Structure 1
Amino acid sequence: MNIKAAIANSELYLVVKTQLAEYWQNPLLNIGFIVSLAIATSTLLAILMLNHASKQQYQQADTRLGAAITYHIRAKQGQTVSKQDFAQLRKQGFSNINPVLSFRKKLTNGKWLTFKAMDLLALSISKPQSFDSINVLLPQPYGKNLGISGLQIMLSDGRLLPLRQITKADWGMTALLDIALAWQLFPELKDFSYLLVAEISAEGVLRLEQSLPEHLTLQKIDSLQQRQGFADALHLNLSALAVLGFIVSVFIAFQAANQAWQKRSELVSQLRLFGVSFTTIRLALLLEAVSLIVAASVIGTFIAVALVSVLLPLLGLTLNQLYQLSVSGHFDWHWRYGLWSLLISACAVLLSLFKQVKRINNPHLFFTAKPVNSRLPTTLIGIVTGLLLLLFLLWPETDWHQVMVKYGLFLIATVGILPLTMHVLIKLFLLSNSRRYFRLRLIMQDAANQIGRRFIPLAAFYLALSTSIAAALMVNSFETAFVNYLEQQLDEDLYIRFEQQQQPRLEQWLQRHPQVIEYLLYRHAVVNVGQDRVAVTTYQSPRQLATLVLKTEQKILNQADRYTAMTQGAGCLINEQLALKHNLTLGNEINLSQASSQMSCQVRGIYYDYGNPRYEISLPLQLAQQQLSGLTARGYGVYFSQYNTEIKQQLLSELALEQSQLIEPAEIKKMALDIFAQTFILSQGIAAVLLVIACFGLFLSAKSLELARKADLFILSSLGYSKIELFIHMLAQWLLLVAGCIVLSWPVAMVLAEVLVAKVFPVSFGWSMPLVLTASPFVSGSLIGLSCLFVALVIPLYKLNGRGHW
């Protein structure tokens, strides 16, 4: 028994040594195979880690800084929350109320820093590693984003603030400081921004509402679950891109495994001829698979950790700006990440070695010489494609999970259409070219014969290119629509906020100033629609109505009478967020209620409201004054014949206004675009990585695929083809087949982009936008793909010809 075991062990040792020698003999192919497996692991693992880490952090932050905070007490427009208001409420027994200061200051580099001041004394004692009451506490990722370093912050007015940068800050992208320190550093801050109300019973809420002064209002804030509901859609979008990256990488690994197996099958047959048992060979191959899983897991984990360290602060910034979710941006390892890595690696290895596993478990098939077949199983591909398309048509769209799965099926199904597209394209080229151009027709005919052999790397490239163009279309649509929206919404030269006692003097100044063309008074109120609080705005002139970017509106025959038609009767305009929440369309009646009054109005238009997480309704001023109470003025939008900074200085000096009360729309536009640009960095980055991965796969495949048809190329060489001509012949075929990928990717990318802006955006952000089709995303995406492809193909093909293989 010991002798048999020794023989078996010696056989296994020799087979393993032979396998290692084969890896050493073909380093590029085998290293490429391992790297593609590692990339497949890291792409999916990085997003899983990113989503898990961010969710953990904003859940912990909500428990730590916002524990049981369910209400805010805020002042009505033109009013403030004074220290006397806070003291009076505390005297009445509301000890669970705490004050907050929220403000922004400009840095010397022109960027704005957001501050939040609250009582930090208890946290400074219990968590001294993260909090203190003598410094401005700044999350490290936020500091890097603003270009802040050192031990002090310098403001544009020359003030220096004591700084402590916190590595693990879970209060989001804002500077935190103790409220007493805030008054010391910023004596111009007179009152509170709002009051926080900790957990309170229903009876306590009623008593608090009755105790509030007339100028204060109690507002219920969104719970973590509500805000997380929107953020989950963003996490899903990232996961969908990661799964696509995993699929692309596995395609490449599958191709590399097949190429490696052509060499390996010869080696295995030789070992069998030398008397090595089938059991030993199978055990050695299984050990190789386990080693590949471990190697892919280790390398993929290192890549994933590096990616997450870079991407987590960016995701934290997006979550904080869009959903008010606090993420520290500091990555901590969790034991489950290692388990995920092993599982993903095992899945990638088994998928890429599917054919080999099948052959290992079938001894007869395992040792049967099987010719290399470059023909595609067209019947099987047609059946699978048909089934996927049928499933796509029947799949429901009840929620955003279903939408993502449905169009994922569509994208995978189009891969089956790719060979047909290539054949049609080549047929059209052949029909349009004269028979006299023999070499050109030979390239095309040879390319048609090689579609099956090159299908897998081309399919990976097609998936990556379609995704990249769809992401570019989405971002282009956003930029175009959002810039137009800002231009229309913020078309005034200056917006002036005022306190109630300042309004009479300000209005007199506007009436007599010679350069004022027109000024609009913005008013607002709050109503309830069902269980939702809805902000009410008003319009009182055609210019004010024109600031709303309407998505749909009732047809008006004479556009000159548009304002008159919109102000007649009980009609209203609602933002898209409210329409989506309550499933409202044009002509529907909507019921509004306040404390003691109710009214209804007919929906005459739905307008875009990008970036606003709240619900809003816009009424004609006269209707609002008749039906609603609590309608308060909030500011003036002013149009000047020639606006300059001198006018701003006049307002500051003559009316004793503060700098923060004068808002220039141009500055808001820049800030809004900067904020929303962060939203798509991750999507664009992952799409670009997919394209690079696909080109890497083509780089790995090019040399091996051409070597596999050495006999065909040798015939061309014997017919007088020079090395340069062979190089051009091979490169032209690849580029021709890639053209087929581009032709199919354009319409597919349009469908995916339309789904993103019209179906995924509403569940991700609460609003949609129109798809804007311009040539630049198609051309730039295709050119970038072709450039990467050209570099990926030129090097292996040129080396293949330059070393005299033929």
Structure 2
Amino acid sequence: MLLKLRLISYMKQLMLIFKVQLAEYKQKLLLNIGFIVSLAIATSTLLSILILNHASKQQYKEANILLESPVAHYIVPKQGNTVTKKDFAKLRKLGFYELQPILSFKKRLKNNKLVSFKAIDLLALSISKPDLYNPNAILLSAEYAQKLKLELPSKLRLVNNHTFAVKQIKSNLWHNVALLDIAHAWSIFPEYTGFSYLIVSEMTQDRLYSLSKLLPEHLILQQSFDIKERSGFADALHLNLTALSILGFIVSAFIAFQGANQAWHKRSELMSQLRLLGVGLFEIKLALMFEALFLIVLSSVLGLILSILMVSFLLPLLGFTLSQLYQLQSSGHFQWDWQYFLWSLIISSFAVFLALLNQFKLIKSKEISLYAKQSKVNLTQSRFIKNLLLFVVLTSLVFFTMPEFNWHFIMLKYGVLLIITTALLPLFLYLIFSVLNTFISRYQINFILQDLKNQISIRFLPLATFYIALTTSIAAALMVSSFESAFTKYLDQHLNEDLYIRFKVGEKEKIENWLNQHSNVDEFLLYYDAKAKVGKNTVAVNTINSKRQFSSIVFKSKLSQSLNQVLDKSCFINEQLALKRNILLGDMIPISQNTSTSVTFSCTVTGIYFDYGNPSFEVTIARKLAITHLKRLKEIGFGVYFKSFDDDVMTDLIAQLNIDESQLYQPSQIKKMALIVFKKTFLLTQAIAVVLLSIACFGLFLSANNLELARKSDLFILISLGYSKSALFIHMLIQWLLLACGCILLSWPIATILADVLVSKVLPSSFGWSMPLLLETSSFISSSIIGLICLIPALTIVLSKINVKGRL
């Protein structure tokens, strides 16, 4: 019976607490909605990037599996020959079932567009996937049809008015060719009777050796292009996105913490009064735990919805980045995974715990009479400053003792520096406004500044979030602008030929004769390619033999030497190799090849050059030195400088030499496409930086109303002194804008330090290359203006609606 009465008493107390909580939510509906939204934003900021990383990694793996083709080698015909049906049949009879025939050709459409055809054996695919592969039609992807300016479904009309049936194919494998069955190709294009080449899947070295020996004389075995190096870039991109997401979560958690303090300002007082009335601490804690659970579930759901919306927008952008930088055809579409909801619960639980930590501490306090009268005791200005100085001293010790093992530690270390400067922000603002107060004699301005200095401590949290977001945004903008400037200069200098001609086996002599005889050719250079070893590292070897080649190298550092001295026994290395092996200017490096007849030779490093985006190592040596010491030196193409160059030169070259258009590359076009890709790629980083700024300004939006009402007695004194509502609004707005300008003033030098760390330490540690920092005024001003543009409307709306008289 006693247990039953005690249980009824517990339930009554719980119901009383729940009624108080519900009444508080109703009375301050907008404030509590703001608190819940701030929790949801804190959850969604981190969750969205985690989902983005997870989803894009899954798509990257799938695309990379498709990219890493089972094709290990190619069998191609020598110049003037073809792979015949008899050749293929003979090799199959010899037991080489790893061979598959391919017919590749181009045709001009009626609209003058050039379409690339690829014919393969579609029999097996048409049986296993009949809805996708049709052996009796030409298969086109929607994007390739759009590129050819065709509307699907339609017929393919060639320049000779022949028309063919077309079917759309939904596959990322065939995004840039028209696919058809090889037997169907022979029937509709009777001029083709054999194959362009044969593809060879993986086979043992012994079988590969046997194949090379049994090939007909007019066929050559070639190794396929190795593309396994790309994964490092994608991993670094994902790690950088994770760093941004954690920073965004910190900013959002600041806002949630501030929102909790405001939303629970009256709640702490009410709960303390309930304790004085005899309500047990256990019941209060239990009710608060139920409320926390409600907040966790609600913020998880809202955060998850916001995250899915953000990811649905950002994932196609990231998919574009992967496709452009790594030639990966990812789907770019969001796919749900149930673990995302678990992540959401964990993140929102952490956010709620951070936000309500101070409130649980207040409720648990033994001095409940103090909190029953005033739920929030403001620290005095002097005590607040002492606490900050102690925090700065302790975190400074952490900063100066923290090692820089890898880029994670570097980011963490300078994240601590950002926190230190955030703690110094109130001291910096106090110092600035004290100095201004000394030099300004006008009473009204002095009064605003003096009042402002007294309010710095209570406005610290929202200002800290604004400062962190602004500093991060400026640092990101500086990094992007530095990279754009350095990358543009690199492309201008590096891609300085008018035309690059890649030749196939047997084509070198006729192309070289044409270049020697053509009066419009100013100069042409023969490019070589080879692989060698520097220690245990495999390096690509480039050759240099002219002033133009020398001038195309973008040096990070070099010794002053003439070209003749360089061509003697000197060499240049890319920054990636210098960082990997800690090689300095003047060092001797050994170069060797894995052949029985090769010998190791040494050269002096007289230059280290930038090689943006290249994940491999390179050495550049004189052509004479390479020919003398390297046995596996391949001639790959010509770089040509014309006296006057236009599209007619390319047309004449193709017509006279009968070479494929795909063998010609215009560096100017490559440069233009590279810059377009660059701008679209870094749009993701810039978008996240703007989101961080917007979140910080949302925090100010939530904070401004209650921070001003917290000092309503001071505002009432101003009204009694004759301040009108508009004058009071201007007074408060000027103070907030002065504080924001103070944040901007401190953020500029700190953002410069962080940007310098990003380009000189983080990039070399994560990507393997660096770039010079460019301090552009536009980067500082644009980020600051974006911050103020977001800030001014937020403050104006809130401050203009403050009703001091109605709340006193």
Q: TM (normalized to structure 1)?
A: 0.87
- Corresponding residue for residue 282 of structure 1: 285
CA-to-aligned-CA distance 1:589-615 (integer Å, 9 cap, x gap): 132215331342222212222233333
- Corresponding residue for residue 390 of structure 2: 383
Measured in 1, the distance between the counterparts of 2:184 and 2:481 equals 41
Among 397, 402, 410, the alignment partner of 2:417 is: 410
Amino acid across the alignment from 1:372? V
1:524 has 2:525 as partner: no
- Corresponding residue for residue 307 of structure 2: 304
Measured in 2, the distance between the counterparts of 1:442 and 1:107 equals 78
- Corresponding residue for residue 598 of structure 1: 599
RMSD, aligned α-carbons: 4.0
- Percent sequence identity over matched residues? 48
Asked if the contact 1:41/1:296 (under 8 Å) is kept, the reply is yes
Per-residue deviation at 1:641?
Answer: 3.1
Among 243, 250, 255, the alignment partner of 2:253 is: 250
- Corresponding residue for residue 589 of structure 1: 589
- Corresponding residue for residue 563 of structure 1: 563
Measured in 1, the distance between the counterparts of 2:763 and 2:81 equals 36
| CA separation of 1:397 and 1:545: change in aligned 2, threshold 3 A | same
Per-residue deviation at 1:193?
Answer: 8.0
Measured in 1, the distance between the counterparts of 2:56 and 2:150 equals 23
- Corresponding residue for residue 693 of structure 2: 691
Measured in 2, the distance between the counterparts of 1:242 and 1:411 equals 16
- Corresponding residue for residue 777 of structure 1: 779
| CA separation of 1:65 and 1:513: change in aligned 2, threshold 3 A | closer
Measured in 2, the distance between the counterparts of 1:727 and 1:182 equals 79
Measured in 2, the distance between the counterparts of 1:356 and 1:387 equals 25
Among 16, 19, 25, the alignment partner of 1:17 is: 19
1:429 has 2:436 as partner: yes
Per-residue deviation at 1:449?
Answer: 1.3
Size of the aligned set, in residue pairs, is 791
Per-residue deviation at 1:28?
Answer: 2.1
1:236 has 2:235 as partner: no
Measured in 2, the distance between the counterparts of 1:108 and 1:4 equals 91
Among 352, 355, 369, the alignment partner of 2:355 is: 352
Measured in 1, the distance between the counterparts of 2:751 and 2:465 equals 15
Measured in 1, the distance between the counterparts of 2:237 and 2:560 equals 35
1:292 has 2:299 as partner: no
Alignment partner of 2:458: what SS? helix
- Corresponding residue for residue 619 of structure 1: 621
| CA separation of 1:351 and 1:149: change in aligned 2, threshold 3 A | farther
- Corresponding residue for residue 29 of structure 2: 27
1:459 has 2:461 as partner: no
Deviates most, 595-604 or 41-50? 595-604
Asked if the contact 1:116/1:177 (under 8 Å) is kept, the reply is yes
Deviates most, 254-263 or 499-508? 499-508
Per-residue deviation at 1:90?
Answer: 5.5
CA-to-aligned-CA distance 1:71-117 (integer Å, 9 cap, x gap): 45598999999678877766664544557799999999999999998
| CA separation of 1:549 and 1:695: change in aligned 2, threshold 3 A | same
Asked if the contact 1:316/1:329 (under 8 Å) is kept, the reply is yes
Deviates most, 643-652 or 294-303? 643-652
Asked if the contact 1:100/1:193 (under 8 Å) is kept, the reply is yes
Per-residue deviation at 1:733?
Answer: 1.2
CA-to-aligned-CA distance 1:320-360 (integer Å, 9 cap, x gap): 44345563323222221111110100000000111012223
Asked if the contact 1:318/1:679 (under 8 Å) is kept, the reply is yes
Measured in 1, the distance between the counterparts of 2:147 and 2:310 equals 17
Alignment partner of 2:801: what SS? helix
Alignment partner of 2:333: what SS? coil
Deviates most, 413-422 or 154-163? 154-163
Asked if the contact 2:273/2:372 (under 8 Å) is kept, the reply is no
Amino acid across the alignment from 2:566? M
Asked if the contact 2:532/2:593 (under 8 Å) is kept, the reply is yes
CA-to-aligned-CA distance 1:34-56 (integer Å, 9 cap, x gap): 11111111111111122222223
Amino acid across the alignment from 1:338? F
CA-to-aligned-CA distance 1:546-591 (integer Å, 9 cap, x gap): 11111121233xxxxx3122112x2222222333344333223132
- Corresponding residue for residue 559 of structure 1: none
| CA separation of 1:769 and 1:711: change in aligned 2, threshold 3 A | same
- Corresponding residue for residue 57 of structure 1: 59
Alignment partner of 2:592: what SS? strand
Alignment partner of 1:548: what SS? coil
| CA separation of 1:486 and 1:106: change in aligned 2, threshold 3 A | farther
Alignment partner of 1:721: what SS? coil
Alignment partner of 2:644: what SS? coil
Asked if the contact 2:538/2:617 (under 8 Å) is kept, the reply is yes
Asked if the contact 2:557/2:609 (under 8 Å) is kept, the reply is yes
Per-residue deviation at 1:666?
Answer: 1.9
What does 1:749-764 align with in structure 2 at a 5 Å threshold?
749-764=751-766
Gapped regions of structure 1 (runs ≥ 5): 557-561
Among 553, 577, 587, the alignment partner of 2:558 is: 553
Among 586, 609, 612, the alignment partner of 1:610 is: 612
What does 1:65-214 align with in structure 2 at a 5 Å threshold?
66=68, 69=70, 71-73=72-74, 93-96=95-98, 122=124, 125-126=127-128, 136=139, 138=141, 150-151=152-153, 162=166, 164=168, 166=170, 177=179, 180=182, 195=199, 197-198=201-202, 200-201=203-204
Alignment partner of 1:598: what SS? coil
- Corresponding residue for residue 446 of structure 2: 441
Asked if the contact 1:723/1:802 (under 8 Å) is kept, the reply is no
Alignment partner of 2:223: what SS? strand
Deviates most, 203-212 or 336-345? 203-212
Measured in 2, the distance between the counterparts of 1:758 and 1:106 equals 50
| CA separation of 1:75 and 1:781: change in aligned 2, threshold 3 A | farther
Alignment partner of 1:800: what SS? coil
| CA separation of 1:350 and 1:501: change in aligned 2, threshold 3 A | same
Deviates most, 733-742 or 13-22? 13-22
Per-residue deviation at 1:388?
Answer: 2.4
Asked if the contact 1:105/1:113 (under 8 Å) is kept, the reply is yes
Gapped regions of structure 2 (runs ≥ 5): none
Asked if the contact 2:500/2:667 (under 8 Å) is kept, the reply is yes
Amino acid across the alignment from 1:394? T
Among 22, 45, 48, the alignment partner of 1:46 is: 48
Alignment partner of 2:459: what SS? helix
Per-residue deviation at 1:242?
Answer: 0.5
Measured in 1, the distance between the counterparts of 2:750 and 2:445 equals 30
Among 267, 272, 289, the alignment partner of 2:270 is: 267
Structure showing greater Rg: 2
| CA separation of 1:311 and 1:549: change in aligned 2, threshold 3 A | same
Amino acid across the alignment from 2:31? L
Deviates most, 343-352 or 621-630? 621-630
Among 468, 472, 478, the alignment partner of 1:473 is: 478
Amino acid across the alignment from 1:319? L
Amino acid across the alignment from 2:608? I
- Corresponding residue for residue 495 of structure 2: 490
Measured in 2, the distance between the counterparts of 1:710 and 1:368 equals 20
Per-residue deviation at 1:152?
Answer: 6.4
- Corresponding residue for residue 578 of structure 1: 577
| CA separation of 1:99 and 1:318: change in aligned 2, threshold 3 A | farther
| CA separation of 1:107 and 1:572: change in aligned 2, threshold 3 A | farther
Asked if the contact 1:726/1:801 (under 8 Å) is kept, the reply is no
Per-residue deviation at 1:465?
Answer: 0.6
Measured in 2, the distance between the counterparts of 1:340 and 1:744 equals 35
| CA separation of 1:790 and 1:101: change in aligned 2, threshold 3 A | farther
Asked if the contact 1:80/1:192 (under 8 Å) is kept, the reply is no
Asked if the contact 1:172/1:320 (under 8 Å) is kept, the reply is no
1:317 has 2:316 as partner: no
Per-residue deviation at 1:238?
Answer: 0.6
- Corresponding residue for residue 333 of structure 2: 330
